[in-house]
Amino acid sequence: MTTDEVSVLLEALETFYRKYAVHPTEHHYVVLVLWVAHSYVYEEFDTSPRLFFDSAVPACGKTRNLELLDETARSPLMAFSASPAALIRTIDKGGRTILMDEIDTLYNKNGGAGSEDVTAVVNAGYKNGARVPRCVGQGMDIDVVELDAYAPMALAGLHSNVPEAVRSRSIHFRMKKRKPSEVVSPFYRRDVSEEAQPLREGLAEWLEPLREEVRAARPRMPKGVEDRAAEVWEPLLVIADLADGQWPKRAREACKHFVFAKSGYARPIGIDLLADIQLVFKGAEKMASADLVAALVTIPDAPWKDIRGSFLNQATLANFLRPFDVRPKDLKFPGNKVVKGYRVGGEGGLAEAWERNLAAGTDDVDDDQNESIPALIPPEAATAATSATALVTAPEVVAPPVAGSGGATYPATNPKPLTSKVAGVAGVAPPQGMGGENVATAANAKTPLHAVSDPTCREWFERHIRGLIENGHTTVDSDAVYTAGQDAGWNLQNLRKVASKSTLVGTAEKRADGTALWNIGEEATDTWISAPQWLLDFLRAHGGWVRASDVHAAAQADPNGPERTSLKSAARAAYVQKRGNSIATEWCLDPSHEQESA
């Protein structure tokens, strides 16, 4: 098949998915197209990524997506309640794509029958060459045979305790209910099967002769995509590179979206804690435990104000960090004061835990590598022709019907737009072994959906803030900026990190719900005072012992005063001395702290 025929085939396949299902981003449709295509030559890859559809509530389109895969994937099998034995023997026959619905019943709190065996098949069958031993025969005539477990697999179910080992081998689709404005075509199986037939025939016709090229391809990964994530995405990127045109770029954009996007599953709280500690340290080499706790509880959007019903304290902090081999040490501060705290370097320090557990965001990785360079294909398999992708500008027609060399004709109509207006991109194949770059030219004055040069998270943040400044804004809600950044595809942790370093924002107010109001402008400054700093200034100004109740009353009267709970947490810091209990409690500034400050 020619490059143009392949382009029309894949666009028609994408149109098919858009016609019957709604997904939150265009990246989801890209994944569906490439995943289904990979099923036709999955034997040539080292791995076959799992597609994982889940949702918080029923009726979000999970089963419908499996039905669409059932019409377009290679030799599909809808495996409802299949036993592990039946499943593995079906896979062993070869060439099947396994589709499993309602897996939440398998992984519910009571556990399903054979759930461990099914999980073993799902996990082991992700890798090419995986074998499962089984006993065959009766009585004394028993023999052990090894059955092939490798096959493409898509799973669907309600949000459930699916094992992390399964999710890590999957591309995760979090499904949501359609809005009233999101309309899809009626799904009649008998009509859909007829519509999908030329798509199945076209995929087989295109990919079957390219098995050698598929086996030889080594796709270049987007920056920061390594290890398990690279294994998961390799087959899809190979298919995209073979398709050429807009697909290499779109595939890598989709890869970054799914790999770096905030997951619908909460990551371990210890990882969040390490990230926030890194944020608080800001280049410091050591910090007292009390100061670290006081700083952590003031971070907007962080959970440290309410851990199991109470504030984070020094003992809880140490417990969270112990599994990362990070331990508090006796640290000496000015004035020969020795307190418990944490160091970045050395044994038991934070540096190694940060390096091992906090993956760099895409904005922190070198931009030297051009992600759009396609895979290197052996010279005899390379095509000299340059392909061009037609503009998709109207919802009525994607492209005229094109007959493949086998006589199949692909559907061309689409009741919904395939994409926004996309600038035509001419992909130039790089010289073999020289790492050439794709050259792209915009054929439309409007901003293309797939820009040639994407901004980093930091660049996006500063452009967004400067745009607000130019429109006359002097303050902005942090949550509004974070939401806009996530809608643009950025990770919340990266956005928070960039915000903490930006000279365009300063804190004007921190609220009880964890959000903040920012001052914005060139060289913006903080006008908000943290609870520890407010308490420090108050005690210094009054001198001697002050009743805690008087301090709370002053904080409540001050518009910039901290909340009662934040103030009590700040009072646990090393620079505050305490005497008395209950309503007789008094606080005083530690004289040694004043000596250190001086």
Residue 515 and residue 538 share a domain: no
Residue 343 and residue 202 share a domain: no
* Average confidence (pLDDT) over 45-70: 91
The answer to the question of residue 26 being in a domain is yes
Q: How far apart are CA 473 and CA 189, in angstroms?
A: 54
Q: Higher confidence at residue 336 or residue 187?
A: 187
* Average confidence (pLDDT) over 590-595: 62
pLDDT above 70: residue 542: yes
The answer to the question of residue 344 being in a domain is yes
Ranges 239-253, 265-279, 423-437, 475-489, most confident: 239-253
The predicted structure's pLDDT at residue 485: 85
The answer to the question of residue 110 being in a domain is yes
Quote the percentage of the chain above a pLDDT of 90: 28
* Average confidence (pLDDT) over 430-444: 32
Structural domain ending residue among the three candidates 470, 500, 520 = 520
pLDDT above 60: residue 408: no
The predicted structure's pLDDT at residue 400: 39
CATH of the domain at 209: 3.40.50.300
Cα end-to-end span (Å), the chain: 78
Please say whether the dihedral angle defined by the alpha carbons of residues 23, 24, 26 and 32, taken in this order, is positive or negative: negative
The predicted structure's pLDDT at residue 592: 64
437 neighbors 370 (Cβ within 8 angstroms): yes
Query: Smallest Cα–Cα separation from 33: which of 11, 50, 55?
Result: 11
Least confident among 51-60, 113-122, 372-381:
372-381
Residue 57 and residue 16 share a domain: yes
Note the pLDDT tens digit of each residue in 281-324.
988 899 999 999 988 988 877 778 776 556 788 888 998 899 89
Q: 180: burial class by Cβ within 10 Å (0-12, 13-18, 19+)?
A: exposed
Residue 335 and residue 410 share a domain: no
> φ and ψ at 343, to 5 degrees?
-110, 160
Structural domain ending residue among the three candidates 487, 520, 553 = 520
The answer to the question of residue 162 being in a domain is yes
Q: Is 336 helix (H, G, I), strand (E, B) or coil?
A: coil
CA angle 198, 204, 208 (to 5 degrees): 160
The answer to the question of residue 293 being in a domain is yes
DSSP 501-559: H-TTEEEEEE-TTS-EEEEESTT-------HHHHHHHHHHHH-S-EEHHHHHHHHHHST
Residue 416 and residue 558 share a domain: no
The answer to the question of residue 165 being in a domain is yes
Query: Smallest Cα–Cα separation from 51: which of 32, 30, 27?
Result: 32
Q: How far apart are CA 570 and CA 568, in angstroms?
A: 5
Q: How far apart are CA 395 and CA 398, in angstroms?
A: 7
pLDDT above 80: residue 381: no
251 neighbors 240 (Cβ within 8 angstroms): yes
Strand partners, 116: none
Least confident among 119-128, 332-341, 512-521:
512-521
The predicted structure's pLDDT at residue 553: 86
Quote the percentage of the chain above a pLDDT of 70: 76
The predicted structure's pLDDT at residue 424: 32
Q: 49: burial class by Cβ within 10 Å (0-12, 13-18, 19+)?
A: buried
Residue 100 and residue 44 share a domain: yes
The predicted structure's pLDDT at residue 445: 33
Alpha helices (runs of H) in 244-374, residue ranges in sequence order: 247-260, 269-281, 289-296, 314-321, 351-357
Residue 212 and residue 246 share a domain: yes
How would residue 204 be classed by pLDDT, with cut points 50, 70 and 90?
very high
Q: Higher confidence at residue 441 or residue 504?
A: 504
Strands 387-388 and 329-333: unpaired
Q: Higher confidence at residue 125 or residue 81?
A: 125
Residue 156 and residue 49 share a domain: yes
Structure tokens at 270: 């210890």
Number of domains in the chain: 4
User: How many CB atoms are closer than 10 A to CB 529?
Assistant: 17
The predicted structure's pLDDT at residue 426: 32
The predicted structure's pLDDT at residue 367: 38
Please say whether the dihedral angle defined by the alpha carbons of residues 40, 171, 257 and 487, taken in this order, is positive or negative: positive
The answer to the question of residue 434 being in a domain is no
The predicted structure's pLDDT at residue 594: 54
Least confident among 341-345, 413-417, 581-585:
413-417
Domain interval for residue 353: 269-357
Q: How far apart are CA 534 and CA 530, in angstroms?
A: 6
Query: Smallest Cα–Cα separation from 573: which of 283, 273, 337?
Result: 337
pLDDT above 80: residue 386: no
pLDDT above 60: residue 393: no
pLDDT above 80: residue 435: no
DSSP 131-186: EEEEEEEETTEEEEEEEE----EEEEEES----HHHHTTEEEEEE-PPPTT-----
Q: Over the Cα atoms of the chain, what is R_g?
A: 29
Q: Is 360 helix (H, G, I), strand (E, B) or coil?
A: coil
The answer to the question of residue 499 being in a domain is yes
How would residue 196 be classed by pLDDT, with cut points 50, 70 and 90?
very high
* Average confidence (pLDDT) over 165-169: 82
How would residue 115 be classed by pLDDT, with cut points 50, 70 and 90?
low
pLDDT above 80: residue 483: yes
pLDDT above 50: residue 371: no
Residue 241 and residue 152 share a domain: yes
Residue 222 and residue 337 share a domain: no
The predicted structure's pLDDT at residue 470: 86
Structural domain ending residue among the three candidates 318, 336, 357 = 357
User: How many CB atoms are closer than 10 A to CB 272?
Assistant: 16
Strands 516-520 and 505-510: antiparallel
pLDDT above 60: residue 399: no
CA angle 58, 17, 180 (to 5 degrees): 50
122 neighbors 99 (Cβ within 8 angstroms): no
The predicted structure's pLDDT at residue 67: 95
Structure tokens at 496: 């928070």
* Average confidence (pLDDT) over 551-576: 77
173 neighbors 28 (Cβ within 8 angstroms): yes
The predicted structure's pLDDT at residue 447: 33
Average pLDDT of the chain is 77
How would residue 95 be classed by pLDDT, with cut points 50, 70 and 90?
confident
How would residue 433 be classed by pLDDT, with cut points 50, 70 and 90?
very low
Identify residue 441 by its one-letter amino acid code.
Answer: T
pLDDT above 90: residue 235: yes
Residue 237 and residue 128 share a domain: yes
* Average confidence (pLDDT) over 33-47: 96
Q: How far apart are CA 239 and CA 250, in angstroms?
A: 12
Residues 6+ away with beta carbon under 8 Å from 32: 14, 17, 65, 68, 69
Structure tokens at 100: 């499993």
Residue 403 and residue 324 share a domain: no
